[in-house]
Amino acid sequence: MAFCCLATRHKAWHTVVMSQSPLTRSMNLRRSVLSVPAINQRALDKTHLIDCDAVIFDLEDSVAPEKKAEARENLNAFFAARPLIGKERIIRINGLSSNWGRADMELVTALEPDAVLLPKVDEPQDVMSVSDLFADADAPDSLRIWAMIETPRGILNAAAIAEAGRTAGSRLDCFVVGLNDLRKETGVLPQPGRAYLVPWLMQVILAVRAYGLDAIDSVFNDFKDTDGFEAECAQARAMGFDGKMLIHPGQIDASNRHFGPDAAAIAEAEMVISAFSDPATDGLNVINVGGRMIERLHLVQAQSLVHKARLIAQRNNMNCQETN
């Protein structure tokens, strides 16, 4: 598919809000999202062997300016050589206004990964412009958009960006928080517990939940600090994040564990599903199970949890078969 030029017009579909459509969230597993520098061939090859849910192939921060073209060539060869099975494939590009953004977008439309990750999304137009570009290039609907929320303006406009992502024809699926840039621009110090950042993180969660998107927590920079990483995963899960962006394969197991359903949660969900499967509950929005009042909305949550548990089990089985 040819990539012609940066879109300058706003298509009419941007004004059609998807309030008439259900704001459903993706059912993809996004517990562990590993960022891999596209310039690092060895790291690219290892992505076939690791147990993360998604891989971000990074053309931006981890690639020096003089290496950008080589990194694109690496990705082109990687995608052509062997499919990456069982993981979402996301390419993080350089900003469209940069010297490399146009070439990055040409690569994305040619390779057709699962998503493109846009850096430093400040306003709805940043997402709309890329949606227009994909439409002009006749990109398949399966090519989605993820947005890095990593600037003060991005945090302040999180709800507007998420809402714009639910307009007809938009492809926005997921927010990824970038705290390194946000700390740099605000002066907030990197402290355990992220006390001064929590209000902004919760603002992101409110935005994605209001408009049916997923949210991925920021990277934890010290991959040797396993206790600190475990604590931050637990905090992010408690806040409502779907997963965490990772910088090292050694962080994958803990991230999968914290953001995946545990045995007790799965058993609880199966109990809720079983209770509502009784014909006697037809037409009831609230039922009594063992002295507990359970609403039908809990059924939807339970079905989602069990579905993700089955996806995890299927992938674990697939991994076992590949290693045998």
pLDDT digits (tens, 9 = 90+) for 13-56: 343 344 333 455 567 899 999 999 999 999 999 999 999 999 99
> CB neighbours (10 Å) of residue 182?
20
* Rounded average pLDDT over 153-179: 93
3-class SS string, 224-287: CCHHHHHHHHHHHHHHCCCEEEECCHHHHHHHHHHHCCCHHHHHHHHHHHHHHHCHHHCCCCEE
Indicate if the pLDDT at residue 253 is higher than 80.
yes
C-beta separation of 209 from 168 below 8 A: no
Opening angle at CA 137, ends 121 and 44, nearest 5: 65
pLDDT tier for residue 10 given thresholds of 50, 70 and 90:
very low
Q: What is the DSSP letter of 16?
A: S
Question: What is the overall mean pLDDT for the chain?
Answer: 89
Confidence of residue 91 (pLDDT cuts 50, 70, 90): very high
114-145 pLDDT, tens per residue? Answer: 999 999 999 999 999 999 999 999 999 999 99
b (16+ CB within 10 A) / e for 285-320: eebeeeeeebeeebbeebeebbebbebbeebeeeee
What's at 229, amino acid-wise?
F
Q: Check: CB of residue 158 under 8 Å from CB of residue 24.
A: no
Closest of 11, 28, 36 to residue 127, by C-alpha: 11
What is the pLDDT, as a whole number, of residue 136? 94
Distance CA 86, CA 54 (A): 8
Mean pLDDT computed over 274-301:
87
Question: How far is residue 226 from each of residues 32, 49, 97, measured CA to CA in Å?
Answer: 15, 22, 38
Helix (H, G, I), strand (E, B) or coil at 295: strand
| 207 close to 175: Cβ distance less than 8 angstroms | yes
Q: Which amino acid does the sequence have at 214?
A: D
